[in-house]
């Protein structure tokens, strides 16, 4: 009958340990190290590009904020210039309107004075006209 021998066989264990170590070194050098190197490069490219993209995104946000602030500044400056131009135009308009009003008032006053003089002249002629008309009427009504 067969028996189960559980005593360790040192030469067989040493040979198996040697084969394991040789296989371990071969697998590590031929498979594991190249795989880890390629994996590290891929991770570096992927994460490096992600980091670069995040950095570019932050720069874009800063540039957009800078552009927005410059646009706001230009908008404020243009609004101030427009308001100043409008104010100048209003002052010029008011001075022109005032000058026209003064000239119109002067012209109206001159016309009133001229009309008053002419009216006074015509009123002065009324008694003479009445006397002339009366004489003509009397001559026609009363025959001489």
CA gap 141, 135 in Å, rounded:
10
When pLDDT is averaged across residues 28-50 and rounded to a whole number, the result is 88
Q: What is the pLDDT of residues 60-76, one digit of tens each?
A: 999 999 999 999 999 99
Residue 92 to residue 86: CA distance in whole angstroms? 10
- What tens digit of pLDDT does each residue of 103-131 get? 999 999 999 999 999 999 999 998 888 89
pTM above 0.85, yes or no: no
- DSSP character for 8? -
For 72, phi and psi rounded to 5 degrees? -65, -40
Q: Which residue has the higher pLDDT, 2 or 109?
A: 109
Question: Which one has a higher pLDDT value, 60 or 140?
Answer: 60
Q: Please give the Cα distance from 102 to 111 (Å, whole number).
A: 14
Q: Is the dihedral of CA 138, 139, 143, 144 positive or negative?
A: positive
């Amino acid at each position: 009958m067969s028996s189960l021998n559980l005593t360790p066989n040192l030469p067989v264990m040493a040979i198996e340990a040697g084969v394991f170590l040789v296989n371990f070194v071969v697998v590590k050098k031929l498979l594991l190290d190249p795989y880890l190197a390629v994996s590290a490069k891929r991770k570096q490219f992927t994460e490096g590009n992600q980091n670069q993209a995040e950095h570019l995104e932050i720069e874009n946000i800063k540039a957009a904020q800078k552009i927005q602030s410059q646009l706001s500044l230009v908008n404020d400056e243009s609004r101030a210039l427009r308001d100043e131009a409008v104010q100048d135009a209003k002052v010029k308009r008011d001075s022109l309107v005032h000058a026209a009003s003064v000239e119109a008032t002067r012209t109206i006053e001159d016309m009133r004075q001229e009309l008053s003089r002419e009216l006074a002249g015509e009123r002065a002629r009324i008694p003479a006209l009445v006397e002339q008309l009366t004489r003509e009427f009397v001559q026609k009504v009363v025959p001489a």
